């Protein structure tokens, strides 16, 4: 197995009504999050990684909604219990933030090797549930970052 690339995506999947999809990690019960994942290759564009991760983790086809680059990224320290996945001396990750707006809640098919449960929650409640500060911040930005639905 190769090392993970310390560049990732975070995708806040939400409805027009600003309900947010959260998924619970298999390897850390009680750790709720939005879709996340590392680039597969250094030349994989973050938007492509975002589409791939949404499909892999939720079974949702990104073309069913509007995938938007929210135009910012986070740099954070990788949790010690996950550092073994990265090369020697790698301690930080750069995370690119996206939103995927869907007209409403859609069926979710989780990747059973990664996640065990999912929930749709109002955005403020979802921000309180996630374990990661960067995920919470992204969800709190949702009302300002998401393009309003066309009427």
Burial (CB < 10 A; 0-12, 13-18, 19+), residue 49, is buried
82 within some domain: yes
26 within some domain: yes
User: At residue 151, does pLDDT exceed 60?
Assistant: no
pLDDT digits (tens, 9 = 90+) for 48-78: 999 999 999 999 999 999 999 999 999 999 9
User: At residue 1, does pLDDT exceed 70?
Assistant: no
19 within some domain: yes
64 within some domain: yes
Q: Are 83 and 91 in contact (CB under 8 A)?
A: yes
Average pLDDT over residues 110-127: 97
Percent of the chain with pLDDT over 70: 98
CATH code, 64:
3.90.79.10
Q: Are 149 and 103 in contact (CB under 8 A)?
A: yes
- Kindly report the pTM of this predicted structure: 0.94
Q: Domain containing 69: what range?
A: 7-145
Q: Are 111 and 91 in contact (CB under 8 A)?
A: no
2 within some domain: no
pLDDT digits (tens, 9 = 90+) for 96-111: 999 999 999 999 999 9
151 within some domain: no
Structure tokens given for 95: 């995370």
1 within some domain: no
Count structural domains, the chain.
Answer: 1
């Amino acid at each position: 197995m190769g090392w993970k690339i310390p560049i990732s995506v975070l995708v806040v999947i939400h409805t027009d009504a600003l309900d947010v999809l959260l998924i619970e990690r298999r390897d850390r019960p009680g750790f709720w999050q939005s879709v996340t994942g590392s680039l597969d290759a250094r030349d994989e564009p973050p938007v492509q990684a975002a589409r791939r991760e949404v499909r892999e983790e939720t079974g949702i086809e990104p073309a069913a909604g509007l995938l938007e680059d929210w135009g910012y990224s986070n740099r954070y320290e990788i949790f010690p219990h996950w550092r073994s996945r990265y090369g020697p001396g790698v301690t930080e990750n750069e995370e690119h933030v996206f939103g995927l707006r869907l007209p409403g809640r859609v069926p979710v098919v989780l990747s059973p090797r990664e996640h065990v449960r999912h929930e749709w929650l109002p955005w403020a409640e979802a921000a309180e549930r996630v374990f990661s500060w960067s995920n919470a911040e992204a969800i709190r930005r949702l009302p300002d970052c998401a393009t309003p639905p066309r009427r």
